[in-house]
């Protein structure tokens, strides 16, 4: 037979009720009597009237006598006209009523406490507690209405009803997308996506983001000034350096959105030096944006699977790799990524017609610029398609922009296409994941007028006629001057205009182990960039995109062919950190990488200090010259429009005429070149990178 779960508690309550019933009954009878008496008397005199109650017991019952009922209240006055009867044993005074109610409440409180403290195995069931609460509620409902009626009928102030609870404020939405969010699935395997999937500090309206990237790079060329060039990731050798320290996050409130991420560390200097647009006009945009990597605001519409319009500084994924090393498979990406934009300044529209497709047009100032180089802005866009959780395709295109300072007629176009494929995924195995990427880039510059040379005096070639070195060699060792300032084209010397193009590719293969705790990446690529318009200028004597350098020119026709390869080992004990060890090799067909002598002016025996001297656009006199280690005041093109190198030799030697080899006015003799300080540039660079990267 099924036992009643409430039997024990009912029995317990019965025992307790033996004590509770007299008090409760007295209180209820007193209240009923009070209600009848309230209709018989009124207050007189200056004092408050005493309340009396007549209790009429049920038929057949004996009246309940109370000792207090026989004692007359000295404050009570009964007018003769009222016809009131004398007090008898059935009358209860107001004080006694209050006392009885207090006793009843004390009994109830004692019972509650006793019930709550029970720890035996037969704890109260929800049905028993509910029954008990109903008994208490019934007593309260019987007592309070009578008391309230008595209070009102005797002229006492009515009790103020409890104030209604204030309505809860309406909930403010963050960002609404009725249809499913775009790109469902796990994309942490992507190159440029980052391997963290959680944001524990995130709220409905804000997702914070904090990044730290510290590295130790060993360049086996061992430059004396510890300075490296030709990269957007490796800057100093044989030192611990903080490359990035960023704080910010994403905001969203009623579909209004925004993002900011600060930029401290080496990035605050190394990024802006590759943009020369700030030198056009006023307001020093390089200083205004130095400490910001991303800053934009916009709005989200609930259209399709999402529609955004954002304006400000936002990241570019031309070249596949992310701006931030933590997100990437390798620390030093190949040229088609390292030499293409990391950010844009302007307006972007993002539209997801389906959950697998994004269309994103751009209206921007230029190719990784804060301002415009010339009169036209840049246009471009991205199409991102992810048909399956293991497939990612991206097409980036750029055009219209005029991005060469001093050449307003030259227009740049560029196409960057990538595919990422995860072809193995088995979390139960030690080798749990394998994926690869492939990227190809094609671009060029065109226009700028007819064939034209800026130098018309002797030194350009036979008879002073301007010529281009067929190998694109710059005059690092005195090969003369070819200051071409005419038009260029995308094809090989069409119409005698030099070819200005960029062609490159890169491939990467990544393997994950032990539930993604470890990973290895193998990859590399190459580029050809006649005209060097996308070749990163080495920071020789502090050179930037604004100053240029006579030691590594970027003239039309100058050649640059490079290739590289990396092997990367990652240890990821948590999703918010990566320990990375990487071996990198890079090659250039022209002297480009920093050698043992460094790229900062240095005079042996004169303090042995490597420091910038004068104007980075000028030749620097060597420490052994007649003038010592000083700025010659002469750049690639001399004051009279002739070969600047020859004039710099004359200035640094104290006025002595330069000596040429074989009488050919294109190559200076070593005796003359010794008066000029030269950076030590090599064709090879091998380095080891140790990095600790954090993102949360």
Give the model confidence (pLDDT) of 356-372 as tens digits: 999 999 999 999 999 98
Altogether, the residues listed in the chain come to a count of 696
Which stretch of 398-412, 442-456, 512-526 has the lowest confidence by average pLDDT?
Answer: 442-456
Q: 10 Å Cβ neighbour count for 277?
A: 23
Does the pLDDT of residue 464 top 50, yes or no? no
pLDDT tens digits, one per residue of 466-495: 566 656 655 544 445 556 778 888 887 667
Average pLDDT, the chain: 80
Q: Which of 243, 237, 215 is closest to 224 using CA atoms?
A: 237
Q: 628 in a domain, yes or no? A: no
221 confidence band (pLDDT: 50, 70, 90): very high
Q: What is the pLDDT of residue 388?
A: 95
Taking residues 164-179, report their average pLDDT: 81
**Cβ(31)–Cβ(51) under 8 Å?**
no
Residues 512 and 371 in one domain: yes
Tell me: do 491 and 572 sit in the same domain. Answer: yes
For position 662, what pLDDT does the model report?
A: 59
User: What is the reported pTM?
Assistant: 0.74
Decide: 29 and 62 in contact? Cβ < 8 Å. no
Pairwise CA distance, residues 102 & 114, whole Å: 18
Angle formed at CA 30 by CA 26 and CA 33, multiple of 5 degrees:
140
Is residue 145 located within the same domain as residue 236?
no
676 CB contacts (<8 Å, ≥6 apart)?
Answer: 619, 620, 621, 622, 625, 632, 645, 648, 649, 652
Do 21 and 135 belong together in one domain?
yes
Does residue 646 form part of some domain? no
Q: Mean pLDDT, to the nearest integer, of 323-346?
A: 95
Please indicate, yes or no, if residue 239 is contained in any of the structural domains.
yes
Q: Are residues 249 and 351 in the same domain?
A: yes
Predicted confidence (pLDDT) at residue 250 exceeds the cutoff of 50: yes
CA pseudo-torsion sign 419, 337, 404, 446? negative
Residue 185 resides in a domain? no
The pLDDT value recorded for residue 136 is 57
Whether residues 140 and 218 fall in one domain: no
Does residue 181 lie within any of the structural domains?
no
The whole domain housing 571 covers: 206-451+486-598+682-695
Distance CA 321, CA 319 (A): 6
CA pair distance 174, 310, nearest whole angstrom: 16
Give the CATH number, domain containing residue 283. 2.40.160.10
In whole angstroms, give the CA distance from residue 387 to residue 384. 10
Lowest mean pLDDT: which of 101-110, 318-327, 478-487?
Answer: 478-487
Is 672 within the bounds of a domain? Answer: no
Query: 245 near 325, Cβ under 8 Å?
Result: no
* HSE-CB for 301 with a 13 A CA cutoff: 11
Do 597 and 591 touch, CB atoms closer than 8 A? Answer: no
| DSSP assignment letter at 230 | S
Residue 296 lies in a domain: yes
Q: At what angle do helices 7-37 and 94-116 cross, to 10 degrees?
A: 160
User: What is residue 494's three-state secondary structure?
Assistant: helix
CA distance 442 to 444: 7
Q: What is the mean pLDDT of residues 540-561?
A: 90
Q: DSSP 3-state assignment of 73?
A: coil
Give the pLDDT confidence score for residue 213 in this predicted structure.
Answer: 98
Beta bridge partner(s), residue 301? 307
User: Are 117 and 241 in a shared domain?
Assistant: no
CA distance 294 to 314: 5
pLDDT for the residue numbered 663: 52
Classify residue 108: in a domain, yes or no.
yes
Write the pLDDT tens digit of every residue in 384-443: 999 999 999 999 999 988 888 888 888 999 999 999 999 999 999 999 999 999 999 999
605 vs 600, 610, 615, 631, CA distance in Å?
Answer: 15, 12, 23, 19
Q: Are 278 and 412 in the same domain? A: yes
Domain count, the chain: 2
User: Does one domain contain both 414 and 301?
Assistant: yes
Residues 306 and 442 reside in one and the same domain: yes
Query: Residue 690 and residue 172: Cα distance in Å, rounded?
Result: 46
Task: Name the phi and psi angles at 208, rounded to 5.
Answer: -75, 160
Pair 432, 548 in one domain: yes
Which has the minimum average pLDDT: 227-231, 276-280, 369-373, 397-401? 276-280
Tell which wins on pLDDT, 475 or 333: 333
User: Considering all CA atoms of the chain, what is the largest pairwise distance in Å, rounded to the nearest integer?
Assistant: 149
Is residue 351 pLDDT above 60, yes or no? yes
pLDDT at 348 over 90: yes
> Are residues 493 and 593 located together in one domain of the fold?
yes
Q: Per-residue pLDDT tens for 191-207?
A: 999 998 888 889 999 99
């Amino acid at each position: 037979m099924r036992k009643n779960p409430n039997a024990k508690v009912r029995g317990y309550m019965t025992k307790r009720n033996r004590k509770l019933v007299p008090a409760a009954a007295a209180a209820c009878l007193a209240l009923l009597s009070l209600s009848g008496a309230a209709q018989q008397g009124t207050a007189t005199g200056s004092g408050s009237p005493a309340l009396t109650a007549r209790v009429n017991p049920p038929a057949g019952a004996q009246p309940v006598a109370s000792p207090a009922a026989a004692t007359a209240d000295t404050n009570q006055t009964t007018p003769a006209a009222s016809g009131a009867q004398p007090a008898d044993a059935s009358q209860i005074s107001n004080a006694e009523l209050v006392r009885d109610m207090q006793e009843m409440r004390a009994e109830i409180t004692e019972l509650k406490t006793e019930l709550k403290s029970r720890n035996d195995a037969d704890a109260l069931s929800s049905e028993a507690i509910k029954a008990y609460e109903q008994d208490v509620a019934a007593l309260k409902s019987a007592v309070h209405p009578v008391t309230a009626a008595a209070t009102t009928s005797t002229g006492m102030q009515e009790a103020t009803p409890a104030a209604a609870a204030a309505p809860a404020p309406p909930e403010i939405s963050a960002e609404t997308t009725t249809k499913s969010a775009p790109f469902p699935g796990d994309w942490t395997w992507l190159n440029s996506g980052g391997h963290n999937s959680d944001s524990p500090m995130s709220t409905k309206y804000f997702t914070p983001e904090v990044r730290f990237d510290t590295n130790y790079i060993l360049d086996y060329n061992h430059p004396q000034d510890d300075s490296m060039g030709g990269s957007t990731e490796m800057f100093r050798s044989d030192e611990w350096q903080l490359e990035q320290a960023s704080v910010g996050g994403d905001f969203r409130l009623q579909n209004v959105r925004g993002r900011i991420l600060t930029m401290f560390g080496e990035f605050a200097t190394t990024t802006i030096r590759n943009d020369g647009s700030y030198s056009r006009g006023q307001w020093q945009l390089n200083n205004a944006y130095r400490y910001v990597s991303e800053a934009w605001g916009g709005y989200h519409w609930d259209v399709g699977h999402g529609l955004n319009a954002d304006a400000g500084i936002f990241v570019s994924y031309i070249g596949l790799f992310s701006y931030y090393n933590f997100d990437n498979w390798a620390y030093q990406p190949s040229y088609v990524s390292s030499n293409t934009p990391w950010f844009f300044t302007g307006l972007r529209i993002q539209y997801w017609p389906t959950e697998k497709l994004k269309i994103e047009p751009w209206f921007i100032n230029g190719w990784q610029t804060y301002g415009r180089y010339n009169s036209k802005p840049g246009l471009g866009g991205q199409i991102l398609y992810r048909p399956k959780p293991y497939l990612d395709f991206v097409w980036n295109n750029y055009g219209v922009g005029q991005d060469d300072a001093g050449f307003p007629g030259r227009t740049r176009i560029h196409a960057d296409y990538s595919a990422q494929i995860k072809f193995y995924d088995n979390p139960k195995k030690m080798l749990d994941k394998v994926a690869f990427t492939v990227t190809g880039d094609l671009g060029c510059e065109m226009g700028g007028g007819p064939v034209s040379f800026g130098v018309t005096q002797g030194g350009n070639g036979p008879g002073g006629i301007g010529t281009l070195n067929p190998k694109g060699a710059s005059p690092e060792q005195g090969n003369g001057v070819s200051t071409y300032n005419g038009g260029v084209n995308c094809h090989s010397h069409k119409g005698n205009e030099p070819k200005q193009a960029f062609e490159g590719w890169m491939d990467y293969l990544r393997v994950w182990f032990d539930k993604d705790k470890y990973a290895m990446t193998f990859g590399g690529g190459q580029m050809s960039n006649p005209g060097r318009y996308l070749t990163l200028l080495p920071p020789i004597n502090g050179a930037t995109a604004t100053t240029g350098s006579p030691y590594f020119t970027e003239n039309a026709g100058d050649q640059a062919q490079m290739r590289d390869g990396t092997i990367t080992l990652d240890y990821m004990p948590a999703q918010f950190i990566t320990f990375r060890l990487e071996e990198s090799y890079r090659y250039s067909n022209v002297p480009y990488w920093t050698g043992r002598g460094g790229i900062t002016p240095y005079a042996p025996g004169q303090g042995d200090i490597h420091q910038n001297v004068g104007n980075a656009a000028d030749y620097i006199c060597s420490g052994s010259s007649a003038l010592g280690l000083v700025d010659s005041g002469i750049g690639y093109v001399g004051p009279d429009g002739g070969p600047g190198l020859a004039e710099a030799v004359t200035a640094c030697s104290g006025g002595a005429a330069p000596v040429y080899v074989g009488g050919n006015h294109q190559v200076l003799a070593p005796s003359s070149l010794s008066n000029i300080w030269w950076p030590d540039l090599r064709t090879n660079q091998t380095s080891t990178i140790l990095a600790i990267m954090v993102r949360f």
